Each structure stands twice: as C-alpha cells, then as structure tokens.
A and B are shown apart, each in its own frame.
Chain A
Amino acid sequence: MSTVTLRAVEPGTTDVAATQRKPSFDDESRAWLDDLLAKCRRKDEAISRLHALLLRAARFEVARRRVTLPHLRGDELDDIALEAADDALMSVLRRLDDFRGLSRFSTWAYKFALFEAAVKLRKRGWQGREIPLEPESWDRLASAQPGPDDQVELAGLLEAVRDGIANALTPHQRRVLLALAVDGVPIDVVADRLGSTRGALYKTLHDARRKLRAHLTERGLARGQWLEES
C-alpha cells in the first residue's frame, strides 16, 4: 500500500490507546510469531503453513469474484490465487513487526491475501480495455436523469453537480472522479494506468468530492436525506 494517508477524521478521535499499547497476543497468534521468527526448519515449516493460509484466503476471494470474470478458465483463476498468495506472503513477512495483536494473526494475514487477489482480479477484468475518455463519461453522466417520481430537487442537484465537475475541479480531479464515480473503473485500475496508488488516488477523489459539496453549498443546495446511505 502507498504511504499517502487521508486524515479527514478529527485528530484525537481514533482509538490511539489501542494501537499504541504494548502488544499482547492470543495463544495462536503468539505461536505464529514464535514460529515465523524462529530459525531453520521450524521457520521454514511456519512459512509453508502461512502460505497455505494465504492461498486459502486468495482462493476464497477468487471464488467470490469468478462470476464477474466468466472469460477466465479455472486454471487461470488458480494461477491468480497462487500469485496473490506469493505476493501476500512477502508482504506479511516484511510487515511482521506491524502486527500488534489487535486481531487474530490469521485475520491480519488474510487481509493481505484478499487485497492482493482483489487487485489482481480487478486489473485482469480491465486488461485490454481503455479507461473511457471524457466525452463518453459526460454522456454517461447525462444519462442519469431523474424519473417522473423523483423529487424536483434531484434535477437541480444533478445540474449543479455537472456544473461543479466542469468548472470547480482541476483536470486531474475531473478525470479521476469521472473514471471512478461515473464510469465505474476500479480504483486499482485507474491507479495503475496513471502510475499512482490507491491511497493517492482516493485522496484526489476525496478532494474532488469536497469541492463538489462546497460547490453545492455555495448555491444553497443540500444533498438531501434521500441521498444518504440507508
């Protein structure tokens, strides 16, 4: 993952005590660490078990997503899972010092394999496809029209948002916002094509969204309760 971190949450509100307290591990997690930090055969065996654990997680992710990738054969999907487990193993071993026992070791390790598998599958799904150019994105944006039963405020909100995208954002913010929020290109794919990272790109998206919300506020528009997640 990248080192860019979005910090929109008020400082001091996160559970700092939990993240800074002296590590304390459950028995299973302690055993994993002891084995992985041991020498020779014991360590090799632990790495082998860890790889099996990560491969299970990667295959779990592949199985959840395979319906979205019907053109891939079973052996291709298993290759992706294996590659994800290999990469996750490197990440876990490199970041062992970061594990502080705030979850089970297995849960902590699983997330690396799920992440690697998910990123590879998203990129595979967009292999050979271009990110839509701006005119196509604007057509797609224009296709989101209120229906006859929608509140009248929705039409005004959509119009103001389109105006904000055109006039309040930088070209980079506009490109990223349209690709992610209108064209539905996965963030890892956009990051890859732009030579960026998920964290950096989400920061761009966050800034663009903040500008859009400010643009609405300046025009006396609110997003409305009917836009909030249920």
Chain B
Amino acid sequence: MERRDPREMLRGLLGPAAPEVGCDTCFDELDRFVELELAGENADAAIPGLRAHLAGCPACREEHESLLALAAEA
C-alpha cells in the first residue's frame, strides 16, 4: 500500500478550522460567490463560511472550480 502524506490525511480527517456552511448552503450560494470572485469583490465577507466549506468538502470544491472556470469563459 502506498505511503500517504500524513498532513494531507490529517487535513481531511480534522477538516477546516474555521466555521463553515454545509453542502446545501454551498450549492445555493455558489453562483453568487463565483461572480463576486470574478468581479474581484470580497466573496468571503459576503458569504462567510463558504470558503472554509470548500476546503473541507472535495466534491463542492471541484464544482466550485468548474463553475469558476465556466463562468469566466461566458
């Protein structure tokens, strides 16, 4: 079995230190969050806890990356 990076595994096990929203709130707010980011505005202040959630939830993080890339093209 390949050796895993202990820090990476611990980050996944312990999760983000900051308060976070859940997956449903993340989905509801993701489009606004992305457009604030693209506009160079303070998305983290407007939607607290979403950035922390993205750090803790790989699935939502992937969808955020995709929406950011797609909306930037549009």
Could you list which residues of chain A lie within 8 angstroms of chain B, going by C-beta atoms?
A: 1-10, 13-15, 18, 57, 60-61, 64, 98, 102-104, 106-108, 110-111, 114-115, 118, 122, 139-141, 143-146, 150, 154, 157-158, 161, 165, 177, 180-182, 186-188, 198-199, 202-203, 205-206, 209-210, 212-213, 216, 223, 226-229
Contact = CB atoms under 8 A, between A and B. Distances in A.
Given A111-B30, A213-B14, A15 B22 contact: no
26 contacts: A1-B24, A4-B24, A5-B22, A6-B24, A7-B22, A8-B22, A15-B46, A64-B69, A103-B35, A106-B74, A107-B74, A118-B63, A118-B66, A140-B1, A144-B4, A154-B10, A157-B10, A158-B6, A187-B23, A198-B59, A206-B20, A206-B56, A212-B13, A213-B14, A213-B15, A223-B10
A229 B19 contact: no
A140 B8 CA distance: 13
Contacts of B9: 141, 144, 181-182
| Interface size range on B against A | 35 or more
Interface SS majority for chain B:
helix
Nearest to B71: A107
Interface of B: 1-7, 9-17, 19-25, 27-28, 30-32, 34-35, 46-49, 55-59, 62-63, 66-67, 69-71, 74
